[in-house]
Amino acid sequence: MKRGEVVLTVLPFTDLSGQKRRPALVISPDTRPGDDVIVAFVTRYRGQPLLSTEVSVLDTDPDFGKTKLKLSSVIKADKLFTIHKNLILGKVAELIPRMMQNVDQALRLALGL
């Protein structure tokens, strides 16, 4: 797993009532020791207003094709999970550095840094 990759994994609902196969953005550093990885929830963008802790990756962005995402998406920097690497089913996309800078800003806001 590499920071900036969008992976497919099984994530719990925030109320822990169940789980679902979802895309998630790897946000932990590549050098993180151990078998766990920190990810942020990724969802489809439907034109909704975004919070300051959310980052859109739109199919209208000239660099969208480089990501290999299929749909406009929202990275939710306020919905973070630590999961074991074995729960990652595969890589589906990767954000470019400019997009990761936006995610980093949203993470700072979400974590009060």
Sheet with 54-57: strands ordered across: 54-57, 73-84, 36-44, 19-26, 5-12, 88-94
Highest mean pLDDT among 3-12, 59-68, 101-110: 101-110
* Number of domains making up the chain: 1
Q: How far apart are CA 84 and CA 63, in angstroms?
A: 31
Reported as a single tens digit per residue, the pLDDT across 22-60 is: 899 999 998 888 999 999 999 999 999 999 999 999 999
Given a cut of 90, whether residue 90 has pLDDT beyond it is yes
In this structure, what CATH number is given to the domain that contains residue 66?
2.30.30.110
Domain that holds residue 42: 5-111
Global confidence as pTM: 0.90
- Which distant-in-sequence residues (6+ apart) come within 8 Å of 22 by Cβ? 8, 9, 10, 11, 41, 42, 43
